[in-house]
Amino acid sequence: METRDWIRDGLRAVATGLLTMVLAIMNIPLFVFFVLGLVLTPVLGLGLVILPAATALIRFRADLARRLAGWWGVPIARPYRPRPEGSLPIGWGAFRRIVTEQATWRDFAWLLPGAVVGLALGIITLALPAYGLEGVLLLPLWLYLGGVWYGYGVNWPIESVGQGFLSLPQGVLILMLGLVVAPYLRRFDALFNRLLLGPTRAAELRLRVSQLTVTRADAVDAQAAELRRIERDLHDGAQARLASLGMTIGLAEELVERDPATARKLLAEARESSSDALTELRHLVRGIHPPVLAERGLDGAVRALALTLRIPTSVDSTLAVRLETPVESAAYFAVAECLANMVRHSGATFAYVSLRLENDVLRMEVGDDGHGGADPARGTGLAGMERRLAAFDGTMSVSSPSGGPTIVTMELPCASSSPRTMLSSGTD
Amino acid sequence: MRVVIAEDHALLRDGLTRILQAFDFEVIAVVDNGPSVLPTLLEQKPDVAVLDVRLPPTFTDEGLQAAIAARAEVPGLPVLVLSQHVEPLYARELLSDRRGGVGYLLKDRVSDVAHFVDAVQQVAGGGTVMDPEVVARLLERNRPLDVLTAREREVLGEMAAGRSNAAIAGRLFVTEKAVSKHINNIFTKLGLPPSEDDNRRVLAVLAYLDS
């Protein structure tokens, strides 16, 4: 298995090496095209058309380089600012946008060095395995032609059949070396490309800021809506009940001597009313932060929830630590929403929840054997959940083909807090 | 009857003490924090303990943990666990040692003093008392406990709440004889061997929780 893996990686690297060389050569006409656009700007405004076109091509080319780098474990983010809505792709506005954008010039600066490095590394990537292959295939050729001008490796020229045979192991070694080295060369190429094609620290921060602005606005909206809901629930529910409770008790107090029978009836009513108020508060609390979540953490809370679902649900969790409270709560409500959707819509007879914490990423999977067809774009529940997770840089993906099964996968980055043993009072 | 109380809210602690004393219980110890619950229970070995689930210093479920730990040391030590909310999960954990003498009630239920005192006495006598809300939440999910008929499920729910045959008969408007017939059917269908009645009731309730 492992042998096959490095051979496959090596071959893949050689193939991408070849592709990279072809693409690297393309950099030269792109460079010329861009310079032409710059030079022709004063002439009839031709640059206003040429430069945006050249830039679009260069960006396409740079995106290819970014994607290739991603294959070799060097992700390069796109540094470009999005085109403002309703703006034209060519003309003065586009020209100004392009010229004032730093990424344009970094791409431009990359074109030639990128081509040189890409070609050079590509040649090494190809040459090593090619030379190895030659060694492997040389012997029959040498026998056939019988020429003494052939040489290989340490034997130069090859003078006997014995030396001819020696080219075989040498060739195998060099071929292996070439395949082992090729992925590293690709990685090196990718790292070089990242120097200029990746966003600068400033651009990275700008992208992050625009993303945070959106998620913060969503989080603030959601929080405000939540507070409004709680306020309304308290006002119409528990508060009103407690007020009436006070009145009933007051009335009973008045009547206790004159009409003890009625007073007793009022007191019984008051007790019932207090019990109703408590029930309402309990439901409200469960919606804000379920007590079992505070007591047992995500793992226990999900287990407790699974026990009360109509559809048998198994919970498989390896969480050994308590998470940060906000993360725990977001994760719980996300899982709860998935399960609620499942109970309402899926027609499933069985469901499962899996919780894993690896490398400070909480991975949650909720699946069922129902008829599928869940669409996050349609249901407000799933979309809201996605927004809530986004506030924690979390992501959600739904796989729900028609006919099922449905699998929702959510990931939340989280630094775990105290180990769980700290939370149970030493009794277990 | 000797009682230990664990409750951190002063008002509720005094209220519980007052109620139990009014009904001739002897309150031998009152605890207001998690870590002292287990030592107190093991030292005093009360006839029944009334414990709040959530106690300081961590305010999680130390009362419940202490109850389970104490029953591991003193099998069948009667405990009545009180909480602001009830979870079928906790009920299952409390019952999982398959012995009676367990109660799990919402704190609201204390306001119905007569019923509450009755529950304490039942638990002390080895009975099992589950809060109606536990039962309701299990009924809500409407999972078929396949082998049982609807009526048998109803009877099982009443049993979980700790009601006697007579009380169940009264609530379901059937004769006591019919109730005991249903109960026998439940035992047979759930494969519970004939043994001491109380223990079988616990096992039946546990099967209900696990369905």
Residue B53 touches chain A, beta carbons under 8 Å? yes
Residue ranges of chain B whose pLDDT lies below 70: 139, 142-146, 193-199, 211
Question: Considering only CB atoms, which chain B residues are within 8 Å of A275?
Answer: 108, 111
Element (H, E) at A395: strand A395-399
On whether the pTM is more than 0.80, the answer is no
Share of chain A above pLDDT 90, in %: 25
**B54/A295 Cβ within 8 A:** yes
* CB-closest option in A271, A307, A423 to B60: A423
In terms of CA atoms, which chain B residue is nearest residue A424?
Answer: B62
Report the alpha-carbon distance of residue A180 to residue A168 in Å, rounded: 18
In terms of CA atoms, which chain B residue is nearest residue A309?
Answer: B141
**B111/A275 Cβ within 8 A:** yes
Instruction: Name the CA dihedral angle for A235, B86, B117, B29, rounded to a multiple of 10 degrees.
Output: -100
Q: Measuring CA to CA, which residue among A377, A378, A376, A371 is closest to residue A409? A: A376
Q: Which tens digit of pLDDT belongs to each residue from A336-375?
A: 999 988 888 888 889 999 999 988 899 999 999 988 888 7
The sign of the torsion formed by the CA atoms of A230, A236, A237, A240 equals positive
In terms of CA atoms, which chain A residue is nearest residue B53?
Answer: A295
**A308/B141 Cβ within 8 A:** yes
> According to the model, what pLDDT value does residue A376 have?
72
The stretch A216-225 carries a mean pLDDT of 87
Question: Considering only CB atoms, which chain B residues are within 8 Å of A424?
Answer: 58, 60-62, 65
Out of A78-82, A101-105, B93-97, least confident range: A78-82
The stretch A309-324 carries a mean pLDDT of 89
Radius of gyration over every alpha carbon of chain B, rounded to an integer in angstroms: 17
Token pair 């479920």: residue: B61
The stretch A136-152 carries a mean pLDDT of 69
Task: Quote the mean pLDDT of chain A.
Answer: 84
Report the alpha-carbon distance of residue B9 to residue B14 in Å, rounded: 9
Q: Measuring CA to CA, which residue among A274, A266, A268, A325 is closest to residue A301? A: A325
- The helices-and-strands tally (H runs, E runs) of chain B is 10, 6
Residue B61 touches chain A, beta carbons under 8 Å? yes
pLDDT band at A427 (very low <50, low <70, confident <90, very high): very low
Q: Which tens digit of pLDDT belongs to each residue from A151-188?
A: 677 766 666 767 777 778 888 888 888 888 888 999 99
Report the alpha-carbon distance of residue B192 to residue B195 in Å, rounded: 8
Q: Which tens digit of pLDDT belongs to each residue from B177-202?
A: 988 888 888 888 777 766 655 667 77
pLDDT band at A146 (very low <50, low <70, confident <90, very high): low
The stretch A46-69 carries a mean pLDDT of 88
Report the alpha-carbon distance of residue B37 to residue A31 in Å, rounded: 79
Per-position DSSP letters for A21-58, written without gaps between them: HHHHHHHHHHHHHHHHHHHTSTTTTTHHHHHHHHHHHH
If contacts are CB pairs under 8 Å, which of residues 247-276 in chain A contact chain B? 271, 274-275
Residue A133: how many other CB atoms lie within 10 Å: 15
pLDDT band at A133 (very low <50, low <70, confident <90, very high): confident
**A291/B84 Cβ within 8 A:** yes
Q: Measuring CA to CA, which residue among B32, B41, B90 is closest to residue B61? A: B90
Question: Considering only CB atoms, which chain B residues are within 8 Å of A309?
Answer: 141
> According to the model, what pLDDT value does residue A1 have?
45
> According to the model, what pLDDT value does residue B119 have?
92
Reading the block at residue A232, the tokens are: 């309304």
Residue A232 touches chain B, beta carbons under 8 Å? no
Report the alpha-carbon distance of residue B58 to residue B70 in Å, rounded: 19
The stretch A391-400 carries a mean pLDDT of 88
pLDDT band at A2 (very low <50, low <70, confident <90, very high): low
Token pair 């809505």: residue: A85
